[in-house]
Amino acid sequence: MGAVWTLIEPICHLLIFSVLFALIRGRTVAGVEYPVFVLVGMAPFLLYRNTALRLMDSLRENRSLFGYKQIKPLDTYIARVLVETCISATVYAILVFGFAWYGFDMSVHSPLQWTATLALGLLFAFGLGMLLALITHALPSLKMIIRMAFFPLYFISGVLLPAAYLPQAMMPVLLLNPFLHLVELIRAEVLPHYTPVDGVSETYVITFTIVLLFIALGSYRARRLHLMSTKNG
């Protein structure tokens, strides 16, 4: 069921929101079919979300491996990123093939920039997941709150609707969210006629990611021995 759910989850999201959007506003948004629009933003967001949450749980799930002296907590973080990337790439490939078979245009407008932005987002998710793992190792009760926090992020990151449809009065606050920048940039690189909302910047995501990685790796180095010697997380 766990393996099947990785494919069923995005399909359920696509079906439910495509039907709702078709009933409310029509079948297209930003000049493309709504299912394609959602898939382009939803697939990377789910990859980043799953990567961050899996890293948060990786210490508990892989604690038995620390009996081998050559395996460190950082190894489990890197392995989890690679696993989540492979799973998400496989699911995305299946969905793209299915969409193309039904006649949707699934070409990528700027493939090199798209790949670079996806990699940048993965680095961001890696730093975020590592920091969450360190925080929840010290305070395990925060895990549920962190998981719940990703639910509103799903809606305010422009996954279901263009960022231009979000409340403009709140845009300065919403633009503090790196997920919103990533989703907008990825859509602009896949969809030829899509224009990101004003304020979206790749430089902001790069700066945020570097600072996040610096804090996460520094905190990990300071607490790496403690992570292996306790059962929290």
Q: Give residue-wise pLDDT tens across range 176-227.
A: 999 999 999 999 999 888 888 899 999 999 999 999 999 999 998 888 777 7
Phi, psi dihedrals of residue 69, rounded to the nearest 5°: -65, -25
Residue 192 DSSP class: T
User: Per-residue pLDDT tens for 139-181?
Assistant: 888 999 999 999 889 889 988 888 888 888 889 999 999 999 9
Query: Which residue in 132, 131, 139 sits closest to 214, CA to CA?
Result: 131
Cβ burial 45-59 (10 Å sphere, 16+ → b, else e): bbbbbbbbbbbbbbb
In the predicted structure, residue 120 carries a pLDDT above the cut 90: yes
Rounded Cα gap, residues 86 and 75, in angstroms: 17
Q: Based on the number of CB atoms within 10 Å of its own CB, is 224 exposed (0-12), middle (13-18) or buried (19 or more)?
A: middle
Residue 121 is which amino acid? G
In the predicted structure, residue 3 carries a pLDDT above the cut 70: no
Over range 24-48, report the average pLDDT: 81
Over range 19-48, report the average pLDDT: 78
Per-residue pLDDT at 159 = 87
Phi, psi dihedrals of residue 78, rounded to the nearest 5°: -65, -40
Per-residue pLDDT at 2 = 66
Q: What six digits make up the tokens of 201?
A: 């910047």
User: Per-residue pLDDT tens for 43-82?
Assistant: 899 999 999 999 988 887 777 777 777 888 888 899 989 9
In the predicted structure, residue 35 carries a pLDDT above the cut 90: no
The Cα-based distances of 193 to 22, 41, 55, 118, 190 in angstroms read 21, 15, 36, 20, 9
